[in-house]
Structure 1
Amino acid sequence: AMENGAVYRPTTEEDPGPARGARSGLAACCNLGRLRLPRRVLKGLQLLLSLLAFICEEVVSQCTLCGGLYFFEFVSSSAFLLCLLMLIVYCTPVYDRVDAGKVKSSDFYITLGIGCVFLLASIIFVSTHDQTSAEIAAIVFGFLASFMFLADFGIMAYEKRQESQKRKPEATVRAEALTEPLNA
């Protein structure tokens, strides 16, 4: 006659502590692993630099030619919000509920669009600013953010090209196999 405890002791594991087991709270719904490290870093820099460009632009109290400032304001705030949206989609369970191909395609075109328009806004702002330190800081952050968006687009374009080159050999092998006679 064995005690009940003796039967279960060798195979039953203790209650895992907080360091082990399933993640809880915010950590459970945030997954940064869907983006490779270089893209994660670029997305973080895009977010930070576009926010800093927007903040520096908001500090500007007066302007002579305000069109460039207002366009830069719109672009920097939009870039920040769109980048934040893409990060939220990549890092939360939302990603599992939508088509991953559409997310990547949207990210591809949004990143390209933001990079080009942010670069244009920065160039326009350079030609219309009043040379205050806040404007110069905003412009520097604007150009840096533009380059981060364009670098991210470059990485995505490179990855897309690599994927399409991997698929091509498979398609040619299948085509050759279909043209061979069955009784050869």
Structure 2
Amino acid sequence: MENGAVYRPTTEEDPGPARGARSGLAAYCNLGRLPVPQRVLKGLQLLLSLLAFICEEVVSQCTLCGGLYFFEFVSSSAFLLCLLLLIVYLTPVYERVDAGKVKSSDFYITLGIGFVFLIASIIFAATHDHTSAEKAAIVFGFLASFMFLGDFVFMIIEKRRESQMRKPEPDRAEPLTEPLNA
């Protein structure tokens, strides 16, 4: 028997680029795990914390450097933690770990970063030397902290929405008196 007759009904021709499997880096990324608003917030967190860090690194002199150093630590940590969370969400690593633990970690990390970034931005704003690089870093720091806190609020709303959907029906006080098959 010829191989073509055996495999013809179950195989398909090359689907072409429009229908084929994704290849390269796109095969490993899955954007569907995050809702669109949260994807946007995570992208903005990543971008704004990186911009805050870059603007802070441009500062060449400072008189009260404690606020600058604290802001530097917080902005770089925020960027790296946000990058780590995005890598977990977008790659197959997400399937290898418990999804509940990833979301719980994201919840607390986002709250912590948002709060600490806001404090670092306030301290840096109070101790900066009024250079344009410092002002830009402060603006990006406040914007990034608001994105982190906005993402935290979004996660709270999503948790409440999920708990509303999971609420069981209220138990009836009176027992059923009629038979079910009547």
Match of 1:18 in 2: 17
2-side partners of 1:18 and 1:61: how far apart? 51
Deviations along 1:122-161, one digit per CA (max 9) or x if unpaired, are: 0000000000000000000000000000111010001111
2-side partners of 1:94 and 1:55: how far apart? 29
Match of 2:74 in 1: 75
What is the Cα deviation at residue 163 of structure 1?
A: 1.3
User: Structure 1 residue 136 and structure 2 residue 135: aligned?
Assistant: yes
Deviations along 1:82-123, one digit per CA (max 9) or x if unpaired, are: 000000000000000111111111111110110000000000
Pairwise CA RMSD of aligned residues?
A: 2.3
2-side partners of 1:104 and 1:9: how far apart? 46
Match of 1:48 in 2: 47
* TM-score of the superposed pair, with normalisation by structure 2: 0.88
Match of 1:104 in 2: 103
1-side partners of 2:37 and 2:93: how far apart? 22
* Alpha-carbon distance change, 6 to 166 in structure 1, aligned in 2, over 3 angstroms: closer
Deviations along 1:31-73, one digit per CA (max 9) or x if unpaired, are: 1111111110000000000000000000001100000000000
* Alpha-carbon distance change, 40 to 5 in structure 1, aligned in 2, over 3 angstroms: same
Match of 1:90 in 2: 89
1-side partners of 2:136 and 2:74: how far apart? 16
2-side partners of 1:99 and 1:157: how far apart? 20
2-side partners of 1:102 and 1:8: how far apart? 45
User: Structure 1 residue 34 and structure 2 residue 64: aligned?
Assistant: no
2-side partners of 1:80 and 1:4: how far apart? 56
Match of 1:120 in 2: 119
1-side partners of 2:136 and 2:15: how far apart? 50
* TM-score of the superposed pair, with normalisation by structure 1: 0.87
| 105-114 or 9-18: bigger deviation | 9-18
2-side partners of 1:70 and 1:182: how far apart? 73
User: Structure 1 residue 66 and structure 2 residue 71: aligned?
Assistant: no
Aligned length: 178
Where 2:15 maps in the other structure, the secondary structure is: coil
2-side partners of 1:122 and 1:4: how far apart? 69
User: Structure 1 residue 154 and structure 2 residue 153: aligned?
Assistant: yes
Amino acid corresponding to residue 59 of structure 1 in structure 2 = V
What is the Cα deviation at residue 8 of structure 1?
A: 7.9
Gaps of 5+ in 1: none
Where 2:19 maps in the other structure, the secondary structure is: coil
Amino acid corresponding to residue 156 of structure 2 in structure 1 = A
Gaps of 5+ in 2: none
